[in-house]
Every structure is written in structure tokens, then in C-alpha cells.
Amino acid sequence: MTQAQQIKEGYPDFCMLDSINEDIFMANLKQRFAADHIYTLIGEQVVSVNPFAKRNLYTPEIMKSYNDKYMYEVPPHIYSLADDTYRQLTTTKENQCVIITGESGAGKTEASKIFLQYIAAACTGRGVGGSKATPISSHSSARAEAEKIMEKLLDSNPVLEAFGNAKTLRNDNSSRFGKFMQIQFDGAAKPLGGMITQYLLEKSRVHSRATGERSFHIFYQLLSQKQEPDLLKRLQLVSDPLQYQYLKLSTCTTVPSIDDAADWKEVNKAMVALGWGEGERFSVWKILSAILHLGNIEFQADDKKSSVDSVVIKNKSEMEKAAAMLEVPTGMLQQALTSRSITSGAGRRQSSIMVLLDKAQAEVTRDALAKHLYNRLFSYVVDRINYVLVAGGGKKDAPPVELTIGVLDIYGFEIFENNSFEQFCINWCNERLQQLFIKLVLKQEQEEYMREGIEWKEIDYFNNAPIIDLIEASPIGLIKMVDEACMVGQSTPDSLLQKLNQNFAKHPNYQSYETTNDKSIGRTHFRINHYAGQVTYDLEHFLYKNRDTLFGDLVASMRASTNKLVKDLFPADPAEATSKKIPLTSASQFKIALQDLINILASCQPHYIRCIKSNDEKRGGYLADERVRHQVRYLNLVETVRVRRAGFCNRQPFVRFLARYKMISDKTWPIWRGSLSDGVKAIAQAVVPSHEFNSEIKLGKTKIFIKSARTLFLFEDHRTKHLPKVAIMIQKVFKGYKTRKWYKAELERLRREKEQLEKTLVLKRAAWKITKAYTMWRYKRHFRNLRKTHGQPPTYGKGTPIPSIWPSHRSLVDDFIVKHHIQHWARVKVKTLNPEGQALVRQKILTSDIFGLGPNKNKAWESRRRFTADYLNVNENPRASQFETAVNILFQKGGDSEILFADNIVKVNPRGKSQARVIIVTNSNVYKYEPKKYTVRKIGIPLQTITGIYLSKVQDTYCVITLKPPERDVVIDVGGWMGSGIERVSELVTVIYQQIERLTGSKIPVHFKDQIEFNNSRDAKNKGLDCVINFAINPKPNERGSFFVKGKGNSCSILYSKDNY
């Protein structure tokens, strides 16, 4: 890209900007977005702006263009980051990780998919073949195994999205859980498997969420199966989501951008590919069905127990359906939903009492069971996928995992109208990731500067350590205080808020109504000044969600299930009954998991994709300035540019710089034989003025550092100017080399070819002379032997057999002699005939060509009889004189001069009736006559209007003569006249075929088919009816001949006898 293009379309790397602040950053981002560039770099990081529109950026051709290219050599793309990640894995042999950050709807999930697709192609050699970063692409068996592993990783995406994603107000496909996917490799960077770790599923979404949002996709996909009513019937479900309280409560069941039915098919296909059997999948569907039925359970006051506030289930049918799906005792589930057991004491002193629940408590208990069921089901789904993905299937003899690439797709920073415990944990996680990001970036920069011997300057940046201390410091931190409140049974949101106010009133990042008198903060709310902005949290359900209690009665009822999957979701723990340990709260569990994740990421070489949501309306191609500016602030992108630049906008290894720019200097072009650093210095001195050299260029130990984008463009401009002459010189040298090489090779080839041709010609001439002499000798010997055997040459009259002395085992020469002998015999024999006889022989030969002979015959019978042509002007015809008179009249009026064929036939009329007729074929026309008085029925049919002749392959004698529309096709039986038992259809077809060829010079097609189509009812005014003839054996065996039968509609049949002809 030239400097003019950079100015017009924006800089592809923010580090190229001469100066940096928020306004300059936004101007460049908007400029690139307007030019349809959604990716921009910050050094090796990719900033991705969700355009909410399809972009043609992910084709195999584009993917291949990023293969084995450094990030600064190609336009910004996730592909370039993926290629760099895999290259680092193969060259440094260090674990890699990609951290994808951004708020909900910024495109993190799509970015992770794009990254994985490239890695899958890179490490299998599929789509980006020929790379240095594709070490196994040349081994077909290894590549097939690698492709299989990567396909399983990609197949896990639709399953995880179905169970873990949902439609929110900001995003139609929002991840409601954190996902860290690790691709496992051996020491040669061959993929072995993978592992997925999930964090903090938003399980409360099962029973509560904001209006306009949806529950998890899988519920709607399951109910979309109208084509599979049997499945819904077995699950006791209906396809209408509004029939289920858990789905209708947010008034949103369909999303224009989501096709639930299509996604259901994709999920099932992926589950099958990942090894789920039909029984396993059905067990999952049963649990989903049970959750929906649980949500429909309603409670009402128990009138029989007026002294205590208790409830009974109002609609027991829903409870019975849930119990049936979970395969638990109905009574046990009913009791667990309406009461709870409280155990006191231990050992022999242990006692248990039953406490009845009021309506509110029963509803909370019901919802707790539903969300815990779903949460454990989701964990099972992840574990089941890991079982298939993990390297070697978890076997002891599996190859060791030596390298990994981790992809972190985790919830973005969230600020909703009502922010609860889930948003607190999500934003806490993002605070830790932001802290890690700053530390790792600074660490990378500092290490590179020290490694290259460049002076390091301290950089100011926003440090969010005080916010993290506020949240998780010990002994006084928000998490610690929330956990302590959960241990005290009498704690309430108000009492917790008072403690928070007492401890954090003076903290700069904590606010509440009591500490600030800010009326925008509710009475049971507190506010934290996060790095991404202020977020107000509602404490109303903090304690309940942090305790995350599931009563023992519900657990016991699940363990009583006869369904293996349900029992596995609630495994029995023998130490559980005697343990005095307080169960870990949700916050404590999340803190441990989060710390493990941070430790893993800190041990990897990090790469970053920073995702930005262009607008909240999901409008394609629209960038909302303030909305994006806010994300730029809380993602600390401006500070990231400052850190990354550290005074230099670009750095390149000596070897790459020298290879790219060596044509600029006469000292380095075309071949540089000195050290890399001296070569780089010579190029830089040829471009950068001497008075600017020290300020613009720094040479490290292995890299050159360029201060400003202006200087970098200067190198590119000089390179662009020198490329034409370089290209001309390369072309000249290469063309000269190729031409000389071709000339020498061609000269040698022609010499060898000439020698070979001369040898071949000599051999051919010798072989031809030998063959000719031997053949003539064999000819002479054959005819001498023939004369000895048969005497003088015999006459060639009718019935004279061909004299032969063929040997029983003939050679090729014998076959040649026999062939020519037979041809000679036939030629001499035909020449003895008069012209009429010769014409008849030719006609019979044509018949055999059309109808075939022996095993190659087209009809069930063979035509071996003598052709008479005129079967009416004979003594056997009592009306021969009338026929002769009719023919004379025909010749006088019609101009015809010769009768080629005449006979009695049976014709099928437009109504399907068979009629006796006479057919006369002259040299020009075909005529149909009335057989009694020989009166012509209609004008003649010119032979030129015939388009084809159709016959069957069986014993009948019918044929269909097709004519050019609007003339009617002719269906006739030539051989069925008064049961004559003589087929004459072969003669008629041959005569018509032969005469049309004489008249037009072209041959009409003759078809032999099992079904024949015709139309004998059309005329100039109407199209008539296209009919189809089928052929069948006559069920009356005593009837000889062929019979036409008109069926219903356009179907017709011709019945024939097997004994015909």
C-alpha cells in the first residue's frame, strides 16, 4: 500500500501514526471502517470492528495469501495473527495463547472461529499448503489424522454455542460462559487433540432474564423440530415456545438472524461426529424437556394446613412429566419441591426435621433445581466433548502433549440496566485480564528492548491494580465480605451494603448512595469505577447467587433416578454426609478457576484480538462514534499503542529487512556478501538523510527499529521505484537462461528424434517388404490349395456355397485371407446378378443394418424373407384390377412414377380404433387407401415430412411413423392383416429409409424402444394428445398377431403373441 493510499484509507497499523491520542486513534479507525477495512493492527495485535454485515474476507484464496507471511507484509487480518501464532509455536517451541477481548456483541466468538479455521488449515496443510508452518502437510497419513482432530475441534463450536450461547439485548449470539480452548500438539507441532475449559455459565438465564432476550439456543432448537413430531411426542413437548413459562417470560422466542431448525440439524450432526450415540443424545433431550416442564409447575396455598404457610402443586401433570423425563419417583420430587429437610447434630444425635415451604420458597427451589440441572448438563456436554478431543483419548500410552495453543473466548465487559452477581464476576474477570494484558505487553516490550540493546523508557499507563485489590484483597475485599455474609444466616442485602460502606467508603473506586448521596445509585446498590467505566450493581440477589444452594432433598431425588445421565450429574459423595467443611461459594470457586486461567495465560506467549462493537442497533456498515470511543477507552487501546510504539512505529529482523529492501542500495544489490547489520545499515544510509539517521534509525542486535511512519514509507517508496528495473533485469536474465536451456534441450531432442525416426523408417520398410512377400505367398498357397480341393473356380449362382479350406486354428494372416476371400466371393457373386437382383441384395443388406442379425438383432424376429414390394397387384388379390386402376389414377394426378411398397395394413385412428387400410409408398409420398374400392382417404404424406420411425423390441409388427407438426403421426400394423402371420414391417421401414436418403441425402432415425410416444390426433387448430404405447404379451395364447388397445388417458397397449413370426 502506497503512502497516498494510507492517507486515503487510513493507516493499517496504529503504531504508524505520527502522534497518538484518542481523537487521532478514532479518526484512523473511522477512516479504515469507511474504506471497508474492519481489521487494524497495533503492532502484532489485531483490532477487529464488528461491521454487522457479511464481508468477503474468508475465502480459501484469501487464506492462502497469508500463508508464511509476516504480519507487516500483508493487510491486517485474523489470518495473519493466526499464521504468526503457529509460526511462533513451531520456531520457539513455546506454548501460545490468543486472548480475545471485547464486550458482548463485539464479535469475539466469530473471531475465535476464524482463528481456529486458519490453524486447522495451517497445521493440516489444507487450504494453505506449502508453508514452512505446515510441517506435516507432506505426510498423507499424518495429515489425515491431523485433519480429523481439527475437524472435531471445529465440530465442538456449534454444540457449545447451542448450549452456552443466547440472544441478549446487545448480541443475537452472545456467549453466556467463558471458554478456554487448548489445541494440543506434539514436539513437531502435529495436532494431537484439544481440551475445553468453561467458566461461569450464566445458569440463572434458564429461569430469569431481561425482557427481549432469550434463554439458551438449544431450547428453541429442540422445539423447532416440526418435521420430527415423534421426538417431541416422546419428550411430551409441543413446538410452541410460548407454552413454556421459562421461555415466554422474556417475550422473545424468535430472532430474525437465527434459523433454529437449521441450527438443530447442525448441532445433531456435530454431536454425531463427536461420538454421541442416539441414546446419549436422547438422554440430553429428556433433561432439557424436564427443565421446561419444571418451569411450568405452579404452586398454591395448601388449604388443609391453615396453621402453617405451605403449598401444594397446582398442576401436577407438569410435575409428573418432569419426573418422567428425569426418571425419578414422582412423590419424592413433589416432596422435594414443597418442603426441605433440616439436619442437626451428628452421629447418634443427628436428627432431621421437615420444613414446609411457602410459595416464594417453593418457586426458588424449583428454579434452583432447573438451573442446577442445566449447569451440570452443560458441564457434562463440555466433559463429553473433552473425552473425544483430549490427546490420545486420555490413554496411558497416548503421545505426550508438548505444546499448546490456547484460545480464550470469554465474556466481554458488561454494563446492563440491572447488573447482578453474574455481571460482577464477568467484569471482575475482565479486570484481571486487563491487568495481565498490560503486564505481558510491557514485559514483551521491555524484554525485546533489552534483548536488542535498545534503551528502555518507562511508559505511563492506566493501572487497575487498586480496582482488583478492592474486589479480591484479603482480609478485606468485596469477595471476602460477600462470602462472610453468606456464612451468616441472618445476612441481608442491606446488612451487607452497610459493611461495604463501612470498609470502602473512602476507596476512590467504590461508591454507594450512603457514601455519595448520588440518587442515581439505588438504596441496595453499589458502584465500582472499573477500568472500562462505572458499573452499578444490585445486591438484591448477590447472597442467594453466591451461596448457589441446592437443597439435599432435591439432590437425593436426582440420585434416585433410574436414568444413568441424571445420576451421573449428581454423583454420590460418601464424605459429603460427614464433612464439616463449608461448601465453597460461587465467587470462591470462580476466583480459583480465574487464578488458574491467569497462571496458564501468563506461562504462554500471548497474542491479542481486541474486538469492538460498531453500534448497538446492529446496523450494517455504521460506526457510532461515542459508543466506539467508550470501548476504545476501556480497552486501553490508546495506551496500548503508546506502549507498543515506545518511540518506534516499526521493527523488522535484519534478514527480512535486507531481503525486502536490498535493491535500494547499489552496495547490497544484487548480492550482499557482508554481515546482516552492515547490509541493513547500508540500505538505511541510502534512504535516510545523514542528519536524521541517528534519530530515525536504531540498529539492535538482530532487528532494525524505525521511529516514524514517514521514514517507513520512504523505504517503501524507494523500493517501489526500484522494483520495475529489478523486475526487468530478473526477467532478462531468466528469459535468457530459459531460452538457452530450451535451445540446448530442443537441439538434443531433435537430434535423438531424427536418429530414432531414421531407425524406425528402415525397420518399417523392411517389415513392410517382409509382410507383403509373406502375404502374397500365403494368398497364392491358399488359392492353389483351394483349386486342388474344389477343382476349377465354380459358378457363382444362387445357392452355391463358398468353397473353404479354413484351418481350425487360424493365425492373423489366415483371418486376413478369409476376410478378403469372403469379400471377393461376395463381390463376384453379386456381379453375376442382374441390376434388379443387385438392388434387392443391397436392400436386404440395409435391412440387416437397421434390424440387425443374430445376437445383435433389434427385434425379437429376423427378416430373412424375400422382399416383393407390391403385394396387391398379384393374382392372389381378387381386386387386383381395381388396384391397378387406382394406381394409374394416382400416377396421373399426383405425379408419382413408381410404387416402392404396397400392402394391406391396420391403421389406428385418432380415437384409438383399428381400421383396415391400404398403404402405398411411392417415390415421393405415402398414401392410405380404403381397401374395398381402393379410394384414397387423404392426400399423400410427402416423404420429406417424416422425422423418424419407432418400433418395439418384441414380436409385434406395429410401427409409428412420426411427422413434422401439425401433421399427425401414423400408427400402423404391417403384418396383422386378417391374421396373415407374415411380418412386412421390416420391408416398409427399409423402403422409406432408403427413399428418403435418396431424396434428401440424409438418414432418418429408426428407434427400437420399450415405450413409444406419438400424437395422431393433432391438427392445425389443436395440439392433440401425446400418447404412450406399452407392449405386453397377449393373455389369450390362441390369438396370433398384434392388437392395439386404447387405455385410460394417454396410455395405450399393444398385445402380441410369443408365437408371432
Q: Which one is catalytic: 10, 43, 105, 194?
A: 105
Instruction: Indicate the length of the chain as a whole number.
Output: 1061
Q: How far apart are CA 601 and CA 406, in angstroms?
A: 8
Neighbouring residues of 740: CB distance < 8 A, sequence distance ≥ 6:
none
What span, in angstroms and rounded, lies between the C-alpha atoms of 675 and 406?
Answer: 38
Local structure of 316: helix, strand or coil = helix
Amino acid at 819: K
Grid coordinates of 472: 479480591
Choosing from 28, 137, 171, 427, the catalytic residue is: 171
Give, in order, the Cα–Cα distances in Å from 723 to each of 309, 676, 710, 726. Answer: 89, 21, 20, 5
Give the H or E element holding residue 1053: strand 1051-1056
Q: Residue 948 and residue 941: Cα distance in Å, rounded?
A: 14
Residue in 70, 90, 92 with CA at minimum distance from that of residue 80: 70
| Alpha-carbon distance values, 975 to 647, 957, 985, 1039, 1055 (Å) | 105, 6, 7, 14, 14
Q: How many CA atoms lie within 13 A of 769 on its CB side?
A: 5
DSSP 208-259: ---TT--SBHHHHHHHT-TT-HHHHHHTT--S-GGGSHHHHTTS----TT--
104 is catalytic: yes
Q: What is the DSSP string of 650-683?
A: EEEEHHHHHHHHGGGSTTTSS---S-HHHHHHHH
Q: Which of 174, 614, 925, 1015 is catalytic?
A: 174
> Which grid cell sits at 740?
538457452
Confirm whether 414 is a catalytic residue: yes
Q: Letter for the amino acid at 1053?
A: S
By C-alpha distance, which of 331, 725, 757 is closest to 560?
Answer: 331
Reduced DSSP (H G I as helix, E B as strand, rest coil) percent helix, strand, coil of the chain, to 5: 50, 15, 35
Least Cα distance to 42 among 9, 3, 92, 81 occurs for: 81
In 3D, which of 977, 937, 983, 981 has the Cα closest to residue 957?
A: 983
Q: How far apart are CA 957 and CA 1041, in angstroms?
A: 8
What interhelical angle do 330-338 and 359-389 show, nearest 10? 120
String of DSSP letters for 526-567: EEEEETTEEEEEE-TTHHHHHH----HHHHHHHHT-S-HHHH
Report whether 1002 contacts 996 (CB < 8 A): yes
Beta bridge partners of 340: 355
Catalytic residue among 175, 289, 904, 1060: 175
Within 13 A of 473's CA, how many CA atoms are on the CB side? 11
Say whether 48 is catalytic: no
CA 217, CA 239: separation in Å to the nearest integer? Answer: 14
Our answer to whether residue 696 is catalytic in this structure is no
In the set 104, 157, 339, 375, the catalytic residue is 104
Distance CA 594, CA 618 (A): 31
C-alpha count within 13 angstroms, C-beta hemisphere, residue 441: 26
Cell numbers 429442540 correspond to 222
Count CB neighbours of 386 within 10 A.
Answer: 17
From the list 125, 193, 412, 975, the catalytic residue is 412
Whether omega before 966 lies within 30 degrees of 0, making that bond cis, reads yes
Q: What residues contact 548, with CB distance under 8 A and at least 6 apart?
A: 585, 586
List the catalytic residue out of 414, 431, 696, 967. Answer: 414
Residue 477 bears catalytic tag: no
In degrees, rounded to 5, the angle at the alpha carbon of residue 178 between the alpha carbons of residues 211 and 201 is: 50
755 is catalytic: no
Catalytic residues: 104-105, 109, 171, 174-175, 412, 414
